[in-house]
Amino acid sequence: MSHSVPNAVVVRVPGKVNLQLSVGPKESDGFHGVVTVFQAISLFDDVTISRTEIGSGISVKISGDQSHGVPADETNLAVKAALIMCDTYDLPADLLIDIKKTIPVAGGMAGGSADAAATILALDHLYTLGLSRDEMHAVASKIGSDVPFLLGGGTAVGRGRGDEVTSALSRGTYHWVLALSSVGLSTPAVYNEIDRLREGLVVAPPHANEYLLQALLSSDSVAVGRALSNDLQAAACSLRPALRLILDVGEEYGALGSIISGSGPTVAFLVSDEEHALDLAVALTSSGVIGTVTRASGPVPGARVVEVR
C-alpha cells in the first residue's frame, strides 16, 4: 500500500460569538482572568497550506470579502502558528498560507485566532504528524486565548485567559443576525477602557452563568437571549457610542437578545428562526445605522480538514 504525501491541505474554520464574557480584576501582569461561554458560528475562513520549494520560507496570500487590514507578514496569526508548529515539530518552514477570509477582521469574532487554529490542524495533516488534541491545544494556547476553542468549536466554557476550554452541552440551533462595522476595535484598547471605567471599584472574580448553561442545555433560546452578557460591552460602547444605537434597533425589532461580540464592534442579535433573522436583517439595513448585516447560526464544529490534495 502506498501512502501519498499531501501537497496541500484546506481547513475550514468558524468564527465565534461570546454568549457570556465576564472579566475579572486586572492581574499583576496586566491581563484579566475571564470566564466566557463561546459558541462557534457559521461564518468561515478557508485556510489552504501548501508545501513550497526548499528555502522559499513562509508566504501569505489573503483574499475574500474581509481581507482588508489583514497583515501578510509574520504578525499574521496564521504565520505565528506555522512558525511555532515548525519549531516545535522540526518541520520545514517552506509554505504558502492562502487565507480566504469571511470572518470580519477586528470584529470580536476571533478571525485571526481562527486562522491560527486552522494552520495548526492543516500542518498536522500536511506532515501527517497525528497530533493529539492536547498537543494541538498546547500550541494553540501559545498563540492566543481564543485559539484553543476554535480547534474544537461547538459550545464551550473558557476560563483563565479563555484558553482553558471545557466543552458545554448545548441543544438546538441558534440563529444570529450580525451587524458588522467597517472599522474594527482594538482588543487592548477595549480592556484599557474597562479598567478606566472600573477605577476605584472592587471587581469580583468571574463565574460561569449557570442560568445560561441550563438554557443552552434545554434549547431555550428565549432564556439564552435574556442571559447574554458581556462585561466589555460598556467599554466598547464608551469608545464607539454608535454601538448603542445599533443595540437599540435590535431590541426594537424583537431580537431575543442583543450583545456585542467579544471586544466588538460586531453586534450579535439572537433571533428565533431564519425568518425572524431575515426580518431583522432587513430592518437593520433600512435603519441606516449599520453598514453590513449578515446572518449565521451556531453551534458549528471547529477547524476541520475539507480537502487534501
Q: Which residues of this chain interact with ligand ATP, rule CB under 6 A?
A: 69-71, 75-78, 99, 105-113, 115, 146, 184, 187, 262-263
**Where are the strands (E) in 225-273, listed by range?**
229-230, 257-260, 267-271
146 is catalytic: yes
CB of 158 to ligand ATP, least distance (A): 11
Residue position matching grid coordinates 468564527: 15
Cis peptide before 92 (omega within 30 of 0): no
Is the Cβ of residue 188 or residue 254 nearer to ligand ATP in the bound state? 188
Cβ-contact 39, 153 below 8 angstroms: no
Asked whether the beta carbons of 100 and 46 are under 8 A apart, the reply is yes
From 16, 80, 100, 101, active-site residue: 16
**Coil, strand or helix: which one is 97?**
strand
Give me the residue whose beta carbon is nearest to ligand ATP: 112
Pairwise CA distance, residues 247 & 11, whole Å = 33
Element holding 10 (H helix, E strand): strand 8-26
Q: Quote the least distance from Cβ 26 to ligand ATP, whole Å.
A: 17
- Beta-carbon contacts of residue 291 (< 8 Å; ≥ 6 apart): 180, 181, 182
Cβ-based nearer residue to ligand ATP, 61 or 171: 61
Q: Which is nearer to ligand ATP, 119 or 221 (CB)?
A: 119
What is the smallest separation between the CB atom of 162 and ligand ATP, expressed in angstroms? 9
58 CB neighbour count, 10 Å cutoff? 19
Nearer to ligand ATP, 49 or 110 (CB): 110
Q: Is 16 a catalytic residue?
A: yes
Distance of closest approach, residue 271 Cβ to ligand ATP, in angstroms: 22
- Which residues touch 74 (CB under 8 Å, ≥6 apart)? 58, 80, 83
* Catalytic, out of 45, 46, 115, 146: 146
- First-to-last alpha carbon distance for the chain, in angstroms, is 18
| Least Å from the CB of residue 230 to ligand ATP | 11
In the bound state with ligand ATP, the residue whose beta carbon lies nearer, of 75 and 219, is 75
In the bound state with ligand ATP, the residue whose beta carbon lies nearer, of 48 and 263, is 263
Q: How far is the CB of 179 from ligand ATP (least distance, A)?
A: 14
Smallest separation, CB 15 to ligand ATP (Å) = 7
Q: Which is nearer to ligand ATP, 70 or 95 (CB)?
A: 70
> CB of 273 within 8 A of CB of 238?
no
Measured in degrees and rounded to the nearest 5, phi and psi for residue 59 equal -125, 160
Give the DSSP letter string of 26-66. EPTTS-EEEEEEEEEEEEEEEEEEEE--TT--EEEEEESTT
Q: What phi and psi values does residue 49 have, to the nearest 5 degrees?
A: -115, 125
As annotated, the active-site residues are: 16, 146
